[in-house]
Amino acid sequence: MFMKNAWLKGFFLAFFFLTLSFAYLKEKTNFTGILLTKEERVDKKVNDIIKENQDKMLEVQKKFDDKFVYLEFLKDDVVYSYYVNTTSGEITDFSFYIRPEKQEDFNKKITELLYLKYPVFIADALNNETVKKTYQIRENELVIYFNDVTIEPMPTEKLFLTVNYNEIKDCLDFTFLLDSEYQNEDGYVYDPNKKTVALTFDDGPSGEKTNQIVSLLEQNKAHATFFMVGNKMNYGASTIQNVLAKGNEIGSHSYSHTSMKRQKKANLLADEEKTHEIYRNITGQELLFTRPPYGAINSTVKESLDTIFITWNLDTEDWLHRDKEYIVNYVLENVHDGDIILMHDSYDSTVNAVAELLPKLYAEGYQVVSVSELAKITNHPLEKHTIYRSLKRSQ
């Protein structure tokens, strides 16, 4: 009997001290995972994250369903986000809240929207599994920031994609708000506050070279104005249709590239009407702009033709130099907001220069647009019988 009582006494003493030990550990150490409730584990992890980010501004702390707590911090215009799983109390990736069977659909949609927003040279770099991403959860949209990306040339702007939840509503495993109307980011929706220039090409249509330039413009979310010669239009009808189909515009560059200053008024009017008629038959549209060959214009020409005259203030002289490097460097060294740039779509060297120049202009914060788009962005109403050499913003 004595041995039995001693054994029981020892058991209870051991249990008592063990309980005290666990209580002490719970209070004094970090080894508490198995002792904390689910809610306590989550709260502790949230508090730990907040302490670790004391040098940043806490912007959002919100629980989504009973799945995760979202924490968002901001420092120096950089977003830092965390997701604390409400079951495990651990930090998880955003991908944990994408439905597994919809992961491929989610990735396809992000790829689609990337190429809608950015030029190909940027979208190609961002559409890479190795690129680090920060996911920012907003009430009605997801914002994806792309970090530590290598792009050549490297844009100066922050790289991110805003995704309305309507686009990915079947892919996400948490509750969110759906907008009744929304607009996806689109690289062709130009920003009125960004530096903008008009790119123009004379002497076309030039068949394959013109089409190559149109393709390069499309790859870089850019537009241009093509000033075409009337007696070449019928032979280039398919090229004309391609230029217009990709959002570019066309102006007259005379009927036969004859100096308008040297023509008699009757001949000038007849030639311009022939050009307009040919274009009208091909497109069903009217030509709004005229660029006199060689930029040669006088008061007679200006008053005789019922059109808007567009010349230029930045001449690449690509017809003279036929050198890609010269053209690219000349533009980059001299370009300013509101410029109208002159090129010709007749030379391989110009095509090659455009391929290099468009990404570099984009990286330096320029939008490359047509003359009409530049006039709208810089708030310049264009009037007939008036010559425009540039479209600078009013100071």
Is residue 12 pLDDT above 80, yes or no? no
pLDDT tens for 96-114 read 999 999 999 999 999 999 9
pLDDT mean over 245-271: 97
* pLDDT on residue 36: 81
Taking residues 162-171, report their average pLDDT. Answer: 98
Q: Which of 173, 202, 321, 339 is catalytic?
A: 202
| Phi, psi (deg, nearest 5) at residue 21 | -65, -45
**Segment 226-237, tens digit of pLDDT:** 999 999 999 999
d(CA 140, CA 264): 64
Active-site residue flag, 344 = yes
How confident is the model over 63-76, as a mean pLDDT?
Answer: 96
What confidence category does residue 34 fall into, taking pLDDT thresholds of 50, 70 and 90? low
What is the pLDDT confidence band of residue 29, given thresholds at 50, 70 and 90? very low
Residues above pLDDT 70, as percent of the chain: 91
> Can the peptide bond before residue 205 be classed as cis, meaning omega within 30 degrees of 0?
yes
Tell me which amino acid residue 61 is.
Q
| Domain at 195-388, CATH class | alpha beta
The arithmetic mean of pLDDT across residues 42-51, rounded, is 97
pTM equals: 0.89
Pairing assessment for the beta strands 387-388 and 249-252 based on DSSP bridges: unpaired
Is the pLDDT at 52 greater than 50, yes or no? yes
How far is Cα 147 from Cα 128, in angstroms, rounded to an integer? 12
Quick check: is 271 catalytic? no
Look at the block and give the residue holding tokens 């007259």. Answer: 252
Ranges of each domain in the chain: 97-168, 195-388
Sign of CA dihedral 127, 133, 137, 143: negative
Q: Decide: 166 and 179 in contact? Cβ < 8 Å.
A: yes
Phi and psi (nearest 5°) for 131? -70, 130
The average confidence (pLDDT) of the chain is: 93
Q: What is the mean pLDDT of residues 138-167?
A: 96
Sheet of strand 57-64, all strands in order from the earlier edge strand to the far edge: 57-64, 68-75, 78-85, 91-92
What does the block give as tokens for 17? Answer: 């001290």
Give per-residue pLDDT as tens, 173-202: 999 999 999 999 999 999 999 999 999 999
In tens, the pLDDT along 260-296 reads: 999 999 999 999 999 999 999 999 999 999 999 999 9
> Which among 223, 271, 344, 345 is annotated as catalytic?
344
Q: What is the dihedral of CA 223, 228, 233, 235, to 10 degrees?
A: -80
pLDDT of residue 394: 84
Mean pLDDT, residues 34-46 taken together: 89
Assign 146 a pLDDT band (cuts: 50, 70, 90): very high
* Residue 80 in this model has a pLDDT that exceeds 50: yes
The angle at the Cα of 270, spanning 266 to 272, to the nearest 5 degrees, equals: 120
Token pair of 371 as six digits? 């003359």
| Token pair 């090659």: residue | 352
Radius of gyration of the chain (CA): 32
